[in-house]
Amino acid sequence: MYTTEIASVVARLFVELIDGPGGQAAFMLNSGDAGLLRSLDKLSAVEASRSTHEGATIAAHALHVRYGLSLMNRWAVEGGDPFADATWELAWTTSAVNDTEWQEIRAGLRDEAHRWLATLGSARDVSDVELAGMISSIAHLAYHLGAIRQIARDARGPKEGTYSTTDGEPSHRALRSVL
């Protein structure tokens, strides 16, 4: 099937997660939310090395998402099944990072995310399984954004009721007008 009719929609949802809603109606995040990439930019290497309840660090989550997007980008360019030889466990071994490592993780994630965004926004012929993978990349990113925000208060978006649309209306009214 061709993604012509849904490409702009899936790209819009993905860009909202990585860069925030940007003044448009928000579907995944609250209006005024910075999105994943700018939220991570607020965190120091020390904060990125933090975990809760002995779970994964923020740096590990960021590396995991980056790696997953690199596989999606590899699939978009080469086809085939880049997941067949994936080494998911490597990202999860990341605990403490220094300033240089944290900068490199964020730069790599930003690059992979924007490359994947370009693919999502471009119409292409895909199978049902490939389309499911494309759409699941959005849900997967949303999950890890939520996990990161549970670990680091400074990475969280605006609180309910503290945000508005560009016309000053609370965002829930803007969403109702879109629907």
Report pLDDT for 30: 83
Q: What is residue 108's predicted lDDT score, i.e. its pLDDT?
A: 98
Closest CA to 36 of 63, 58, 17, 50: 17
pLDDT, averaged per 10 consecutive residues of the chain (179 residues), comes to: 94 96 84 92 95 90 97 96 92 94 98 98 95 96 94 73 53 48
Tell which residue, 44, 150, 172, has the closest CA to residue 102: 44
The residues, ordered by sequence, that sit 6+ positions from 144 with a Cβ below 8 Å of its Cβ are 61, 64, 65
The pTM of the full predicted model, rounded to 2 decimals, is 0.86
pLDDT at 168: 52
